[in-house]
Structure 1
Amino acid sequence: MPHFPVNHPARPLYRVLSGLIGVYILIFGVWGIAETIGNPLFDRSSTWALGLRTNLAFSLASVVFGIVLIIGASRRTNLGHYMNLTAGVVFLVTSILMMSVLQTDANFLNFSMSTVIVSMLFGLILLGTGLYDKVGPPEHAEAEREHRKHPVAEVHRR
């Protein structure tokens, strides 16, 4: 059974981080749509927005992901927890897949190495925020604190 901290004291900071990433991705997507409007959906031209190469398909996907992350960050429920975990994995997997096809015709999202690096960073940050922003009743938080102070856990820490 996975162990996620419940009601972590830095949870508001983690929600702000995921919200800022969502805002950046949304602005990048809107800017990218403005730059690539009229181009084919999977165009491979050298169109850049906010320092990252893009095409219309990637810009549209970025708008959707940005909105989803902002919604997740604005909720004080476990919705943000699950959204951040999922988005972190999606960003990491997408960046690795796009890096593997970077110099080929299969690069349908028009990634560059800078886009891969930013996607990996966002994925790691979102995965980290997802690990620490779980919400629960005070009883669960107390049980989680007691779990960390369990005598068996103390033996393994030495």
Structure 2
Amino acid sequence: MAHIPINHPARPLYRVLSGLVGLYILIFGIFGLVETAGNSLFGRDDVYALGLRTNLAFSLVSVLFGIVILIGASQRGNLGHFMNLTAGVVFLVVGLVMLTVLQTEANILNFSVATVVVSMIFGLVTLATGLYDKVGPPARAEAEREYRRTASTDPAG
């Protein structure tokens, strides 16, 4: 049975990493909105913001998603834990979907290979953040640590 660590000592570091991802996405979205102002919503133009291709729709989604991730990173309870887990999965799924439609007309968010790579990296970072920022009562965290310690020293277990 897998155990998600509770009250992990590096929880503040993981929240900072998640916040940096959210901040980058928010800034990317804002720059993208400035660069794509006046363009069509799902345009496939050669428009870049912070080194990644974008269009108006992708920039709008980035602003909203960046705000959501920043809210999740600022939450000290398990709401942030679930928001980061969800954001990580969304990044990975969107990255895979956009990779499959990269050279087709279905590439409505104007992704490039670099955008897919960044999406995958951000997905892994936010997923890892979600796995290590779970909060619980100190007694339950101690019980989990004790279980892992005895399971790792028990050759049968």
Pairwise TM-score range, normalised by the shorter structure: over 0.9
Q: Give matches, 1:3-42, under 5 Å.
A: 3-42=3-42
How far did 1:47 drift?
A: 0.4
Cα distance change of structure 1 residues 138 and 38 upon mapping to structure 2, 3 Å threshold: same
Instruction: Identify if the C-alpha distance between structure 1 residues 50 and 14 changes in structure 2 by more than 3 Å, giving closer, same or farther.
Output: same
Cα separation, 2, equivalents of 1:79 and 1:2: 20
Aligned to 1:54: 54
Does 1:68 pair with 2:38? no
Which structure 2 segments of 5+ residues have no match? Answer: none
Q: Tell me the CA shift for residue 34 of structure 1.
A: 0.6
Percent pairwise identity? 68
How many residues of Structure 1 are paired with residues of Structure 2 in the alignment? 157
CA distance in 2, matches of 1:156, 1:59: 53
How far does residue 155 in structure 1 lie from its aligned partner after superposition?
A: 1.5
Partner deviation per Cα, 1:47-97 (whole Å, 9 max, x = no partner)? 000000000000000001100011111111111110110000000000011
Could you say what secondary structure the match of 2:53 adopts?
Answer: strand
Change (3 A) 1:13 1:152: closer
**Stretches of structure 1 lacking an aligned partner (at least 5 in a row):** none
What CA deviation, in whole Å up to 9, does each residue of 1:9-37 have, x standing for no partner?
A: 00000000000000000000000001111
Equivalent AA in structure 2 for residue 67 of structure 1: I
Match of 1:84 in 2: 84
The alignment partner of 1:64 has SS state of helix
Superposed displacement of residue 154, structure 1: 2.4
Q: TM-score, length-normalised on structure 2?
A: 0.96
**Displacement of 1:149:** 2.1
Counterpart of 1:155 in 2: which secondary structure? Answer: coil
Superposition RMSD in Å: 1.4
> 2:154, 2:10 → 1: CA distance?
24
Tell me, in whole angstroms, the C-alpha distance in 2 between the residues paired with 1:59 and 1:49: 9
